[in-house]
Amino acid sequence: MRLRNKTTILLVGLLMAGLSSCVSSGDNPGIEYAPNMYISQAYEPYSQEKLFEINPNGMTMREPVNGTVARGQLDYIYPHPNTGAGYEASASFTSNIPITESNVKEGERLYNYACWHCHGKKGANDGPIFKSGKMPGPSWPNVQADYIKNIPMGKMYHTITYGKGLMGSHAAILNPTERWKVIYHIKSMSLGEEFEISSDVVEVEEMQEGAEEEVMAEATQEEHPAEEH
Ligand code: HEC
Protein backbone atom coordinates (compact mmCIF):
# COMPACT_ATOMS: atom_id res chain seq x y z
CA MET A 1 0.00 0.00 0.00
CA ARG A 2 2.73 2.44 1.02
CA LEU A 3 4.74 1.48 -2.03
CA ARG A 4 1.76 2.26 -4.28
CA ASN A 5 1.42 5.66 -2.57
CA LYS A 6 5.05 6.46 -3.25
CA THR A 7 4.68 5.39 -6.86
CA THR A 8 1.61 7.60 -7.28
CA ILE A 9 3.42 10.60 -5.77
CA LEU A 10 6.39 9.96 -8.04
CA LEU A 11 4.19 9.69 -11.13
CA VAL A 12 2.24 12.85 -10.30
CA GLY A 13 5.54 14.64 -9.66
CA LEU A 14 6.95 13.53 -12.99
CA LEU A 15 3.76 14.55 -14.78
CA MET A 16 3.91 18.05 -13.23
CA ALA A 17 7.57 18.42 -14.09
CA GLY A 18 6.81 17.24 -17.61
CA LEU A 19 3.94 19.64 -18.08
CA SER A 20 5.78 22.61 -16.60
CA SER A 21 8.72 21.99 -18.91
CA CYS A 22 6.40 22.53 -21.87
CA VAL A 23 5.77 26.10 -20.81
CA SER A 24 8.06 28.63 -22.41
CA SER A 25 9.58 31.33 -20.27
CA GLY A 26 12.57 33.62 -20.50
CA ASP A 27 15.30 32.00 -22.58
CA ASN A 28 13.57 28.63 -22.51
CA PRO A 29 11.46 27.98 -25.60
CA GLY A 30 9.74 25.00 -23.89
CA ILE A 31 9.11 21.79 -25.79
CA GLU A 32 8.32 22.48 -29.41
CA TYR A 33 6.19 20.16 -31.47
CA ALA A 34 7.82 19.49 -34.88
CA PRO A 35 10.44 22.29 -34.58
CA ASN A 36 11.32 21.88 -38.27
CA MET A 37 8.11 23.73 -38.97
CA TYR A 38 9.34 26.83 -37.13
CA ILE A 39 13.07 26.68 -37.59
CA SER A 40 14.26 25.86 -41.08
CA GLN A 41 17.13 23.42 -41.42
CA ALA A 42 20.48 25.00 -42.20
CA TYR A 43 22.23 22.96 -44.87
CA GLU A 44 25.98 22.96 -45.08
CA PRO A 45 26.91 25.24 -48.02
CA TYR A 46 30.05 23.38 -49.10
CA SER A 47 28.65 19.84 -48.83
CA GLN A 48 25.25 18.24 -49.34
CA GLU A 49 22.82 15.92 -47.57
CA LYS A 50 23.57 12.27 -48.28
CA LEU A 51 19.93 11.61 -49.23
CA PHE A 52 19.85 14.55 -51.57
CA GLU A 53 22.79 14.19 -53.88
CA ILE A 54 21.44 16.15 -56.79
CA ASN A 55 23.32 19.39 -56.35
CA PRO A 56 25.85 20.51 -58.93
CA ASN A 57 29.45 20.29 -57.67
CA GLY A 58 28.31 18.15 -54.72
CA MET A 59 27.44 21.14 -52.56
CA THR A 60 24.25 22.86 -51.47
CA MET A 61 25.50 26.31 -52.42
CA ARG A 62 25.29 27.37 -56.06
CA GLU A 63 28.34 28.89 -57.68
CA PRO A 64 27.87 32.41 -59.08
CA VAL A 65 27.34 32.66 -62.83
CA ASN A 66 30.63 32.78 -64.76
CA GLY A 67 31.98 36.30 -64.94
CA THR A 68 30.07 37.48 -61.87
CA VAL A 69 31.86 40.31 -60.05
CA ALA A 70 31.16 41.08 -56.42
CA ARG A 71 29.80 44.58 -55.91
CA GLY A 72 32.58 47.13 -55.54
CA GLN A 73 35.29 44.71 -56.71
CA LEU A 74 35.45 45.45 -60.41
CA ASP A 75 39.00 46.73 -60.06
CA TYR A 76 40.11 43.24 -58.99
CA ILE A 77 39.66 42.15 -62.60
CA TYR A 78 43.12 42.21 -64.09
CA PRO A 79 43.21 41.09 -67.73
CA HIS A 80 46.81 39.90 -68.01
CA PRO A 81 47.83 36.35 -67.10
CA ASN A 82 50.90 35.49 -65.03
CA THR A 83 53.08 34.69 -68.05
CA GLY A 84 55.93 36.37 -69.88
CA ALA A 85 53.53 37.58 -72.56
CA GLY A 86 51.15 38.81 -69.83
CA TYR A 87 54.00 40.80 -68.26
CA GLU A 88 54.87 42.44 -71.59
CA ALA A 89 51.20 43.26 -72.28
CA SER A 90 50.84 44.80 -68.80
CA ALA A 91 52.97 47.75 -69.96
CA SER A 92 49.85 49.47 -71.31
CA PHE A 93 47.74 48.76 -68.21
CA THR A 94 46.74 52.02 -66.53
CA SER A 95 44.61 53.14 -63.62
CA ASN A 96 42.06 55.84 -63.02
CA ILE A 97 43.33 56.50 -59.48
CA PRO A 98 44.49 60.13 -59.59
CA ILE A 99 48.13 60.93 -58.77
CA THR A 100 47.47 63.36 -55.95
CA GLU A 101 49.67 64.43 -53.01
CA SER A 102 47.49 62.45 -50.60
CA ASN A 103 47.58 59.28 -52.73
CA VAL A 104 51.39 59.44 -52.96
CA LYS A 105 51.55 59.99 -49.20
CA GLU A 106 49.26 57.01 -48.56
CA GLY A 107 51.48 54.99 -50.94
CA GLU A 108 54.46 55.86 -48.75
CA ARG A 109 52.65 54.59 -45.66
CA LEU A 110 51.77 51.32 -47.42
CA TYR A 111 55.30 50.93 -48.83
CA ASN A 112 56.72 51.39 -45.33
CA TYR A 113 55.01 48.29 -44.09
CA ALA A 114 54.74 46.05 -47.17
CA CYS A 115 57.96 46.66 -49.12
CA TRP A 116 60.67 48.43 -47.12
CA HIS A 117 62.08 45.29 -45.45
CA CYS A 118 63.49 44.34 -48.85
CA HIS A 119 63.63 47.51 -50.94
CA GLY A 120 64.62 49.84 -48.08
CA LYS A 121 62.83 52.94 -46.74
CA LYS A 122 64.25 55.17 -49.50
CA GLY A 123 64.23 52.48 -52.20
CA ALA A 124 67.97 51.78 -52.09
CA ASN A 125 67.43 47.99 -51.84
CA ASP A 126 69.01 48.12 -48.38
CA GLY A 127 66.16 46.70 -46.32
CA PRO A 128 67.11 44.13 -43.64
CA ILE A 129 66.31 41.14 -45.89
CA PHE A 130 68.59 42.19 -48.77
CA LYS A 131 71.20 43.45 -46.27
CA SER A 132 71.30 40.06 -44.52
CA GLY A 133 72.49 38.56 -47.81
CA LYS A 134 70.03 35.68 -47.47
CA MET A 135 68.20 36.88 -50.56
CA PRO A 136 69.82 38.55 -53.53
CA GLY A 137 68.36 41.95 -54.43
CA PRO A 138 67.17 43.06 -57.86
CA SER A 139 69.60 43.87 -60.68
CA TRP A 140 68.88 47.63 -60.28
CA PRO A 141 70.68 49.22 -57.33
CA ASN A 142 67.97 51.67 -56.23
CA VAL A 143 64.72 53.22 -57.42
CA GLN A 144 66.66 56.15 -58.92
CA ALA A 145 68.13 53.72 -61.47
CA ASP A 146 67.00 54.22 -65.08
CA TYR A 147 65.25 50.84 -64.96
CA ILE A 148 62.69 52.03 -62.38
CA LYS A 149 62.56 55.55 -63.87
CA ASN A 150 61.49 54.08 -67.21
CA ILE A 151 59.48 51.01 -66.24
CA PRO A 152 55.80 51.41 -67.18
CA MET A 153 53.54 51.54 -64.12
CA GLY A 154 51.47 48.70 -65.58
CA LYS A 155 54.48 46.37 -65.32
CA MET A 156 54.99 47.41 -61.70
CA TYR A 157 51.33 46.59 -61.10
CA HIS A 158 51.85 43.19 -62.72
CA THR A 159 54.87 42.47 -60.50
CA ILE A 160 53.09 43.52 -57.28
CA THR A 161 50.06 41.44 -58.27
CA TYR A 162 51.82 38.18 -59.26
CA GLY A 163 55.36 38.62 -58.00
CA LYS A 164 58.49 38.31 -60.15
CA GLY A 165 61.59 36.18 -59.67
CA LEU A 166 62.26 36.01 -55.94
CA MET A 167 59.66 38.66 -55.11
CA GLY A 168 56.37 37.03 -54.11
CA SER A 169 52.88 38.22 -54.94
CA HIS A 170 51.64 41.09 -52.77
CA ALA A 171 48.06 40.84 -54.01
CA ALA A 172 46.86 39.54 -50.65
CA ILE A 173 48.45 42.46 -48.81
CA LEU A 174 47.49 45.38 -51.05
CA ASN A 175 44.14 45.81 -52.77
CA PRO A 176 44.22 47.16 -56.36
CA THR A 177 43.85 50.82 -55.30
CA GLU A 178 46.62 50.43 -52.71
CA ARG A 179 48.92 48.86 -55.32
CA TRP A 180 48.60 51.99 -57.48
CA LYS A 181 49.28 54.28 -54.52
CA VAL A 182 52.47 52.35 -53.72
CA ILE A 183 53.50 52.57 -57.38
CA TYR A 184 53.01 56.36 -57.31
CA HIS A 185 55.20 56.56 -54.20
CA ILE A 186 57.98 54.52 -55.85
CA LYS A 187 57.79 56.64 -59.03
CA SER A 188 57.86 59.77 -56.90
CA MET A 189 61.01 58.53 -55.09
CA SER A 190 62.44 57.54 -58.46
CA LEU A 191 61.73 60.67 -60.49
CA GLY A 192 61.72 63.25 -57.70
CA GLU A 193 60.64 66.68 -58.96
CA GLU A 194 60.00 65.26 -62.43
CA PHE A 195 57.16 63.10 -61.15
CA GLU A 196 53.98 64.90 -62.08
CA ILE A 197 51.42 65.20 -59.33
CA SER A 198 48.15 65.85 -61.08
CA SER A 199 45.72 68.46 -59.92
CA ASP A 200 42.86 66.58 -61.62
CA VAL A 201 40.84 66.27 -58.47
CA VAL A 202 40.80 70.01 -57.82
CA GLU A 203 39.86 70.68 -61.44
CA VAL A 204 37.01 68.19 -61.30
CA GLU A 205 35.71 69.83 -58.14
CA GLU A 206 35.94 73.26 -59.72
CA MET A 207 34.15 72.01 -62.82
CA GLN A 208 31.40 70.55 -60.66
CA GLU A 209 31.01 73.82 -58.78
CA GLY A 210 30.85 75.70 -62.08
CA ALA A 211 28.27 73.28 -63.46
CA GLU A 212 26.19 73.61 -60.31
CA GLU A 213 26.14 77.39 -60.62
CA GLU A 214 24.99 77.09 -64.26
CA VAL A 215 22.23 74.68 -63.33
CA MET A 216 21.12 77.00 -60.52
CA ALA A 217 21.09 79.97 -62.89
CA GLU A 218 19.01 78.04 -65.45
CA ALA A 219 16.59 76.89 -62.75
CA THR A 220 16.08 80.46 -61.54
CA GLN A 221 15.40 81.58 -65.08
CA GLU A 222 12.80 78.84 -65.54
CA GLU A 223 11.11 79.83 -62.32
CA HIS A 224 10.95 83.51 -63.23
CA PRO A 225 10.90 83.63 -67.05
CA ALA A 226 9.26 87.08 -66.95
CA GLU A 227 12.39 88.59 -65.46
CA GLU A 228 14.13 88.04 -68.77
CA HIS A 229 12.02 90.66 -70.46
C1 HEC B 1 61.06 39.61 -49.99
C2 HEC B 1 61.68 40.74 -50.62
C3 HEC B 1 60.77 41.67 -51.40
C4 HEC B 1 59.67 42.35 -50.95
C5 HEC B 1 59.00 42.28 -49.60
C6 HEC B 1 59.24 43.18 -52.05
N7 HEC B 1 60.05 42.99 -53.14
FE8 HEC B 1 59.96 43.97 -54.89
N9 HEC B 1 61.45 42.86 -55.64
C10 HEC B 1 62.16 41.91 -54.94
C11 HEC B 1 63.11 41.27 -55.84
C12 HEC B 1 64.08 40.17 -55.47
C13 HEC B 1 62.93 41.87 -57.10
C14 HEC B 1 63.63 41.52 -58.43
C15 HEC B 1 62.76 40.58 -59.19
C16 HEC B 1 63.33 40.17 -60.53
O17 HEC B 1 63.48 41.04 -61.39
O18 HEC B 1 63.58 38.99 -60.70
C19 HEC B 1 61.88 42.87 -56.93
C20 HEC B 1 61.45 43.69 -57.96
C21 HEC B 1 60.55 44.73 -57.79
C22 HEC B 1 60.17 45.67 -58.81
C23 HEC B 1 60.64 45.70 -60.24
C24 HEC B 1 59.50 45.10 -61.03
C25 HEC B 1 59.81 44.64 -62.41
O26 HEC B 1 58.82 44.42 -63.10
O27 HEC B 1 60.98 44.44 -62.78
C28 HEC B 1 59.26 46.52 -58.24
C29 HEC B 1 58.54 47.69 -58.90
C30 HEC B 1 59.07 46.09 -56.89
N31 HEC B 1 59.86 45.02 -56.62
C32 HEC B 1 58.18 46.69 -56.02
C33 HEC B 1 57.86 46.16 -54.79
C34 HEC B 1 56.78 46.66 -53.97
C35 HEC B 1 55.87 47.80 -54.34
C36 HEC B 1 56.77 45.89 -52.85
C37 HEC B 1 55.80 46.00 -51.70
C38 HEC B 1 54.41 45.89 -52.03
C39 HEC B 1 57.85 44.94 -52.94
N40 HEC B 1 58.48 45.12 -54.15
C41 HEC B 1 58.16 44.03 -51.98
C42 HEC B 1 62.01 41.60 -53.60
C43 HEC B 1 61.00 42.08 -52.79
Whether residue 90 is contained in a domain is answered as: yes
Domain of 134 in residue numbering reads as 81-194
Give, to the nearest 10 degrees, the angle between helix 176-191 and helix 101-114.
Answer: 100
Residue 228 has a pLDDT of 46
Whether residue 133 is contained in a domain is answered as: yes
Residue 7 has a pLDDT of 84
Read off the amino acid at residue 215: V
Whether residue 46 is contained in a domain is answered as: no
Continuous H helices in the chain = 2-22, 84-89, 101-114, 116-119, 128-132, 146-150, 153-162, 176-191, 200-223
Average pLDDT of the chain is 86
**Residue with CA at minimum distance from ligand 1 atom 36:** 115
Give, to the nearest 10 degrees, the angle between helix 153-162 and helix 176-191.
Answer: 130
Q: Which among 164, 186, 187 is the best mutation to test ligand 1's pocket, defined by most ligand atoms within 8 Å of the CB?
A: 164
- The pocket around ligand 1, CB under 6 angstroms, is made up of 114-115, 117-119, 129, 137-138, 155-156, 159-160, 164-167, 170, 174, 182, 186
Q: Which of the residue ranges 59-63, 215-219, 223-227 would you say has the lowest mean pLDDT?
A: 223-227
Whether residue 101 is contained in a domain is answered as: yes
Q: What is the CATH number of the domain that holds 158?
A: 1.10.760.10
Please compute the mean of the pLDDT values over residues 187-215 and round it to a whole number.
72
Whether residue 185 is contained in a domain is answered as: yes
Please compute the mean of the pLDDT values over residues 157-177 and round it to a whole number.
97
Ligand 1 atom with least separation from CA of 130: 2
Q: What angle do CA 116, 120, 126 make, to 5 degrees?
A: 140
Residue 51 has a pLDDT of 79
Whether residue 122 is contained in a domain is answered as: yes
Please compute the mean of the pLDDT values over residues 144-169 and round it to a whole number.
97
CA 198–ligand 1 middle distance (angstroms): 26
Whether residue 27 is contained in a domain is answered as: no
Q: Residue 143 above 50 pLDDT?
A: yes
Ligand 1 atom with least separation from CA of 174: 38
**Residue with CA at minimum distance from ligand 1 atom 5:** 115
Whether residue 10 is contained in a domain is answered as: no
Domain total for the chain?
1
Q: Which of the residue ranges 7-16, 65-74, 189-198 would you say has the lowest mean pLDDT?
A: 7-16
CA 167–ligand 1 middle distance (angstroms): 5
Residue 160 has a pLDDT of 98
